[in-house]
Amino acid sequence: MSTDHDASVAASDFALDNRQVTSIGSAWDAYKSRVRSGDLGALPSLLAITVLVLAFSLSTDSFLSLRNAQNFLEQASPIAVIAMAVSFVLLLGEIDLAAGYTAGVCAAFMAVQLRDGSSLPMAIGLAVVIALILGLFTGVLVAKLGIPSFIVTLSNFLTFQGILLLRVKEGGTVRLESQSLRDLVGTNMSPGLSWAFAFISVAAIAIVTLRKVRSAHGTVSTSAAFLKLAVMAVLIIVVTAVLNIDRTPPKGTKTLVGIPVAVPAVVLILVMLTFLLTRTRFGRHLYAVGGNAEAARRAGIRVERIRLTAFTICALLAAVGGAFIASAVDSVSAKSGGNDTLLLAVGAAVIGGTSLFGGKGRMLNAVLGALVLALIPNGLPLVGTKTIFGATIDFSSSGIQFILAGLFLLAAASVDAVSRKRAA
């Protein structure tokens, strides 16, 4: 904070910019007023995660088991990746209903290529090219021709499903003939690597926190920022320590220990996309087009190009999600990327606080939302049949799972709507 900077500000009245938010109390007040003004951020998803984890761990012992922790993280990873993919078009106020099948189609082309004896880079290259073609196809129809993305991607949903069926042959499955791809979801890092990952994460968060505090000129509470940093550091270290406990089943042949490989993979994608959205011109323009396309156009932003790019990025990320989906079961079938894949991904983004009207949302929220929606199918089957208030309910039935997932989505959407209404 240089003196001439203060002098120029003194001519005006930027009361909030000048106010030194130093205590945790005032930071808490600032946060409360932000929540009240409708900016809920990660709050709903964090609350939902807490509620679900508490409920499941109280009703069954197997939920908090070490092996289930690994299962859970691996189940959440494809949803998280596709939720991030869909977030790109949601930020524009558009939608991609075909993102799930884009994932499936790309995974199918990759798997068939591998089965036919191609090398891994060749197969990945083919999947990327297919994703580019699908993304550009959707993007051109939406951005250049102006067809509503709902219609375009609804037709793509059917078309891509057809392509997937043709590629894997009806009812058939294609085994994933690449050990490294199969290892993406299902194997763990060694305890040493796990610790290295944990410490790099903590260091990265610390650097970001320091930068934020320094550039904020006292408008963010330093103590609150460091408290947040400390909480996250402890959380990361505890999770790493727990996952580094040997969880090999009694008669298991393969040692199970360490952080699942899927976790750093998702974190890497999350960091790269967050960087793209918050630190680059493209990211800024994406939010601008989502917020007010006409204003963006008048500011000289090439709106069509931003739309086209967003749909292409969405397809490319969906293809990455396809690799996760295939890796989870070591094969690709006609159902890969189908069923509820897309709905869970969109739901995850929305639970995380991404607005369907565009302009609002973060990549981290999509990942947190994916954790919420992955908790439900993970925890409920473990709960099994319980009697509540005299009624016997089989929580492991998929009917109950769908109903609960639906209710959570509805609750998240209502929280968003209510908070908006109060803010307006």
**Footprint on this chain of other proteins (rule: CB under 8 A):** 5, 8-9, 11-17, 37, 215, 219, 279-281, 284-285, 287-288, 290-292, 294-296, 298-301, 359-360
To other proteins, the closest distance from the beta carbon of 43 in angstroms equals: 17
Residue closer to other proteins (CB basis): 166 or 357: 357
Residue closer to other proteins (CB basis): 247 or 360: 360
Residue closer to other proteins (CB basis): 61 or 294: 294
CA-based nearest residue to 96, from 35, 128, 137: 137
To other proteins, the closest distance from the beta carbon of 246 in angstroms equals: 43
To other proteins, the closest distance from the beta carbon of 420 in angstroms equals: 10
Residue 332 has phi, psi (to 5 degrees) of -120, 135
To other proteins, the closest distance from the beta carbon of 1 in angstroms equals: 11
In SS3 terms, the chain reads as CCHHHHHHHHCCCCHHHHCCCCCHHHHHHHHHHHHHCCCCCCHHHHHHHHHHHHHHHHHCCHHHCHHHHHHHHHHHHHHHHHHHHHHHHHCCCCCCCCHHHHHHHHHHHHHHHHHCCCCHHHHHHHHHHHHHHHHHHHHHHHHHCCCCHHHHHHHHHHHHHHHHHHHHCCCCEEECCCHHHHHHCCCECCHHHHHHHHHHHHHHHHHHHHHHHHHCCCCCCHHHHHHHHHHHHHHHHHHHHHHCCCCCCCCCCCCCCCCECHHHHHHHHHHHHHHHHHHCHHHHHHHHHHHCHHHHHHCCCCHHHHHHHHHHHHHHHHHHHHHHHHHHHCEEECCCCCCCHHHHHHHHHHHCCCCCCCCCCCHHHHHHHHHHHHHHHHHHHHHCEEEECCEEEECCCHHHHHHHHHHHHHHHHHHHHHHHHHHC
Residue 279 sits at the vertex; the CA angle it makes with 203 and 129, to the nearest 5 degrees, is 100
Residue closer to other proteins (CB basis): 160 or 287: 287
To other proteins, the closest distance from the beta carbon of 380 in angstroms equals: 36
Residue closer to other proteins (CB basis): 30 or 237: 30
Residue closer to other proteins (CB basis): 9 or 42: 9
To other proteins, the closest distance from the beta carbon of 274 in angstroms equals: 13
To other proteins, the closest distance from the beta carbon of 85 in angstroms equals: 21
Residue closer to other proteins (CB basis): 251 or 281: 281
Residue closer to other proteins (CB basis): 179 or 292: 292
Residue closer to other proteins (CB basis): 37 or 339: 37
To other proteins, the closest distance from the beta carbon of 286 in angstroms equals: 11
Distance of CA 188 to the CA centre of its chain: 20
To other proteins, the closest distance from the beta carbon of 239 in angstroms equals: 31
